């Protein structure tokens, strides 16, 4: 007994001297339970009968396996984030395990002393519902309200649902699931996660951050327009219902449901359209992108208010933003249901529904329908923007992200379908009122569908002020969710990449990021700002983010390896992904993304807004903006190969091998005690 006590004391003393540098960083308090069971917050654990249970009796969920009487290093436990490679005695594809033979312990216990430094614990969601609402709020955005209904009726109505569902099942949902699993397993943002997967592709993370900034430059301006409408709605007579205002022209035609003596002609302009183009945007004061004009101070104040809300919602992390989304993610559904009931009771609503869902099966033979279906499901679910990686990284390690992916992606697709009824019941009503066909009323896509057609329809309803307030409040809520998510993706990526600099300065960093986004958005607040918004929407995000996601899928499936990725999921969730998911990740998803990229290059979109056709030089400018983010990927590859040591082949092999995380590993001193 005395000999064993002396041995244990000696080994602990040796460990103390060997780890003196680590002790200076901080040392967690050692605690032992009364019954000798391992403590969650302790670092002194007693394990009975370790040798008898054998290697298979231990898993990541139950702690590391060690050899009796040996000092070993193991990866992090799932509670604190997994490591992908062991520095000693482990492999890159799974948890490191101690080697060596174990002696029967008899009546002895194994004393495991675990020493760690005091690290800042990673933030987690307060509740599971905070995470789900945040993901749903991110996926369900303004595009669900206007883009899906427009794309649907343009591409065959009900027949479009077939390619849409096929693209969702074989392309969108597998990518959605993959990003949630990656973020949850590696507990990292979109930059630092690549050292655990394939270091040479780290430029993907920087490209994602630049794309997120571009989106913040123009996306929030649309919310500023909605806020302008919201403030203008607090009047007994909505300002876009009359032609007697200072901004109206001679072509303004006030065509209300009560005006039976007024006829609508091709030269007629509704007061809602003139309010949008001449009062809110003031686009008539700018001849085009070559002369944007002055900044609208009204929109500048509206955008400042929007960014103020954004800052105070995300400055403290997911603990605060997770609470805000309880309002911003649920309120739009309440408004959609109210507007659906109201729209269904309007005269002519059935015309819009028939036009929306009437199947045109011949459209399925045209490639543009499949291109639109693929692009719509991709941008609707939103993989590749770093948001899903960031949100999932704050989950518990064993959270069922597979179920989360199926639930949230299904909610997103159903919301798009529901929004189609909300929009087209009103478009049918407008066609009935103007005595026109539905396609003539719904000729405008984009935000114009919301700010002109829908705004005019609301003005014709009883209790127009109430419906206008809740509708534009819904638009703002939909946009805020996506802005929270997009900026959180950047914040998480930068904090994980530079933790020693930014971890304790989150509030200041978020403030600086929001200021950069506001300054970058100033060009969209000018008289020609709507032209800038359209340019960013078409070129700055679409092609570049799809290319980035293609490289991401290739890196995970082909370099990191589908088997290794599936093993990670099995460790995390307890089951191995089926053959369907493996085939999608290896082959179908890359083909899906390559199909979108090739079709975009083969059939570049004709960009125009209102009566302004974008000149040729703007196409070159748009491609330059898109390439400016994607260039980070090859640039970092060259940098990584040049800065690595060894021969070219050694550097190349090292660049595609996941890096071990020795700093995060823990040292165990194992000895016997009675």
Q: Are 409 and 168 in contact (CB under 8 A)?
A: yes
- Whole-Å CA distances, 136 to 307, 414, 450, 513, 650: 21, 11, 21, 24, 44
The pLDDT score that the predictor gives to residue 259 is: 58
Q: Are 550 and 542 in contact (CB under 8 A)?
A: no
- CATH number among 1.10.520, 1.10.10, 2.60.40, 1.20.1740, domain 128-251+269-656: 1.20.1740
Angle at the Cα of 485 from the Cα atoms of 482 and 487, rounded to 5 degrees: 110
Query: Is 567 a known ligand-binding residue?
Result: no
Query: Is 140 a known ligand-binding residue?
Result: yes
* 444: pLDDT strictly greater than 70: no
The pLDDT score that the predictor gives to residue 145 is: 83
β-pairing, 608-609 vs 612-613, is antiparallel
Query: Is 139 a known ligand-binding residue?
Result: yes
The full set of domain ranges for the chain reads 128-251+269-656
For 509-570, the DSSP string reads HHHHHHHHHHHHTGGGGBTTHHHHHHHIIIIISHHHHHHHHHHHHHIIIIIIIHHHHHHHHH
pLDDT tens figures, 323-356: 888 998 899 999 999 999 988 888 888 888 888 8
Q: What does the pLDDT average to over 465-478? A: 92
Q: Scan for tokens 């060009």, then name that residue.
A: 523
Q: What does the pLDDT average to over 425-442? A: 79
The partner residues of 616 in beta bridges, in order of sequence, read none
Query: Is 380 a known ligand-binding residue?
Result: yes
β-pairing, 666-673 vs 109-115, is antiparallel
Q: Are 12 and 669 in contact (CB under 8 A)?
A: yes
CA distance 28 to 95: 24
Q: Give percent of the chain with pLDDT exceeding 90.
A: 36
The helix (run of H) or strand (run of E) holding residue 310 is helix 297-314
Query: Is 478 a known ligand-binding residue?
Result: yes
Q: Are 355 and 424 in contact (CB under 8 A)?
A: yes
Tell me 259's DSSP state.
Answer: -
The pLDDT score that the predictor gives to residue 557 is: 93
Q: What dihedral angle (degrees, nearest 10) is formed by the CA atoms of 432, 433, 434, 439?
A: -40
Confidence of residue 258 (pLDDT cuts 50, 70, 90): low
Question: Any residues with CB less than 8 A from the CB of 237 and at least 6 apart, and which?
Answer: none
Query: Is 439 a known ligand-binding residue?
Result: no
The pLDDT score that the predictor gives to residue 550 is: 92
Poorest-confidence range of 66-75, 160-169, 247-256?
66-75
Comparing C-alpha atoms, which of 253, 114, 30 is closest to residue 665? Answer: 114
* 101: pLDDT strictly greater than 50: no
By CB atoms closer than 10 A (0-12, 13-18, 19+), residue 107 is exposed
3-state secondary structure of 421: helix
Question: Any residues with CB less than 8 A from the CB of 633 and at least 6 apart, and which?
Answer: 201, 203, 204, 207, 548, 551
By CB atoms closer than 10 A (0-12, 13-18, 19+), residue 257 is middle
CA distance 424 to 437: 12
For 320-379, the DSSP string reads HHHHHHHHHTTHHHHHHHHHHHHHHTSTTHHHHHHHHH---GGGGGSHHHHHHHHHHHHH
The partner residues of 114 in beta bridges, in order of sequence, read 668
CA distance 370 to 335: 31
* 560: pLDDT strictly greater than 90: yes
Q: What is the largest CA-CA distance in the chain?
A: 109
Q: Scan for tokens 């898109």, then name that residue.
A: 626
pLDDT tens figures, 45-89: 443 433 333 333 333 433 333 333 333 333 333 434 443 333 433
CA distance 538 to 607: 8
CA distance 180 to 400: 10
CA distance 581 to 572: 16
* 613: pLDDT strictly greater than 80: yes
Q: Are 258 and 510 in contact (CB under 8 A)?
A: no
Q: What does the pLDDT average to over 239-258? A: 79
Query: Is 246 a known ligand-binding residue?
Result: no
Our measurement of the distance from residue 544's CA atom to the centroid of its chain's CA atoms, rounded to an integer in Å, reads 15
Q: What does the pLDDT average to over 490-494? A: 93
Tell me 673's DSSP state.
Answer: E
Q: Are 617 and 535 in contact (CB under 8 A)?
A: no
Confidence of residue 103 (pLDDT cuts 50, 70, 90): very low
Q: What does the pLDDT average to over 404-420? A: 91
- Whole-Å CA distances, 99 to 55, 69, 72: 10, 11, 9
Q: What is the pTM of this model?
A: 0.78
pLDDT tens figures, 167-208: 899 989 999 999 999 999 999 989 999 999 999 999 999 999
Confidence of residue 299 (pLDDT cuts 50, 70, 90): very high
Query: Is 412 a known ligand-binding residue?
Result: yes
């Amino acid at each position: 007994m005395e000999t064993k006590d002396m041995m244990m004391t000696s080994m602990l003393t040796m460990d103390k001297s060997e780890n003196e540098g680590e002790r200076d960083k901080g040392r967690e308090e050692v605690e032992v339970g009364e019954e000798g069971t391992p403590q969650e917050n302790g670092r002194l654990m007693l394990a009975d009968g370790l040798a008898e249970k054998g290697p298979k009796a231990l898993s990541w969920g139950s702690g590391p396996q060690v050899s009796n009487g040996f000092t070993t290093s193991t990866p992090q436990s799932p509670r604190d984030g997994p490591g992908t490679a062991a520095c000693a005695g482990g492999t890159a594809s799974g948890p490191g395990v101690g080697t060596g033979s174990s002696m029967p312990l008899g009546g002895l216990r194994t004393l495991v002393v675990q020493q760690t430094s005091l690290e800042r614990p990673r933030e987690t969601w307060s509740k599971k519902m905070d995470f789900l609402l945040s993901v749903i709020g991110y996926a369900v955005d303004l595009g669900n309200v206007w883009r899906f209904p427009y794309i649907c009726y343009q591409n065959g109505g009900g027949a479009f649902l077939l390619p849409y569902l096929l693209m969702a099942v074989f392309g969108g949902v597998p990518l959605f699931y993959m990003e949630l699993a990656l973020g949850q397993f590696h507990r990292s943002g979109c930059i630092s996660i690549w050292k655990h997967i394939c270091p040479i592709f780290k430029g993907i993370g920087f490209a994602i951050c630049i794309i997120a900034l571009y989106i913040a430059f123009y996306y929030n301006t649309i919310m500023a327009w909605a806020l302008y409408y919201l403030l203008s709605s607090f009047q007994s007579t909505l300002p876009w219902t009359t032609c007697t205002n200072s901004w109206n022209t001679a072509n303004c035609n006030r065509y209300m449901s009560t005006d039976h003596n007024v006829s609508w002609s091709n030269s007629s302009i509704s007061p809602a359209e003139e309010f949008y183009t001449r009062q809110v945007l003031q686009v008539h004061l700018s001849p085009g992108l070559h002369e944007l004009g002055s900044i609208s101070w009204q929109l500048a104040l509206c955008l400042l208010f929007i960014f103020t809300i954004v800052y105070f919602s995300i400055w403290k992390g997911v603990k605060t933003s997770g609470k805000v989304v309880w309002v911003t993610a649920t309120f739009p559904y309440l408004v959609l249901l109210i507007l659906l009931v109201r729209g269904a009771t309007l005269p002519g609503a059935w015309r819009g529904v028939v036009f929306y869902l009437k199947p045109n099966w011949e459209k399925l033979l045209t490639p543009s329908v499949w291109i639109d279906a693929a692009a719509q499901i991709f941008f609707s679910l939103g993989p590749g923007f770093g948001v899903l990686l960031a949100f999932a990284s704050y989950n518990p390690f064993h959270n069922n992200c597979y179920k989360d992916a199926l639930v949230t992606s299904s909610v997103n697709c159903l919301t798009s379908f529901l929004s189609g009824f909300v929009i087209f019941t009103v478009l049918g009503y407008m066609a009935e009122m103007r005595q026109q066909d539905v396609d003539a009323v719904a000729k405008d896509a984009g935000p114009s569908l919301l700010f002109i057609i829908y705004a005019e329809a609301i003005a014709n309803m009883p209790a127009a002020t109430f419906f206008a307030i809740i509708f534009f409040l819904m638009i703002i809520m939909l946009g805020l969710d996506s802005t929270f998510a997009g900026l959180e993706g950047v914040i998480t990526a930068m904090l994980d990449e530079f933790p020693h600099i930014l971890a304790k300065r989150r509030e200041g960093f978020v403030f600086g990021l929001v200021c950069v986004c506001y300054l970058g958005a100033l060009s969209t607040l000018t008289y020609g700002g709507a032209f800038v918004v359209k340019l960013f929407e078409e070129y700055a995000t679409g092609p570049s983010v799809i290319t980035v996601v293609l490289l991401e899928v290739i890196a995970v499936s082909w370099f990191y390896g589908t088997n290794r990725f599936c093993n990670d999921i099995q460790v995390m969730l307890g089951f191995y992904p089926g053959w369907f998911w493996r085939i999608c990740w290896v082959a179908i998803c890359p083909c899906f993304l390559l199909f979108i990229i090739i079709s975009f290059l083969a059939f570049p979109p004709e960009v125009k807004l209102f009566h302004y056709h974008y000149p040729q030089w703007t196409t070159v400018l748009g491609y330059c903006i898109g390439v400016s983010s994607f260039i980070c990927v090859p640039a970092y590859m060259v940098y990584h190969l040049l800065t690595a040591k060894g021969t070219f082949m050694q550097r190349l092999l090292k660049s595609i091998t996941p890096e071990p995380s020795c700093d995060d590993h823990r040292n165990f001193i194992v000895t016997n005690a009675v």
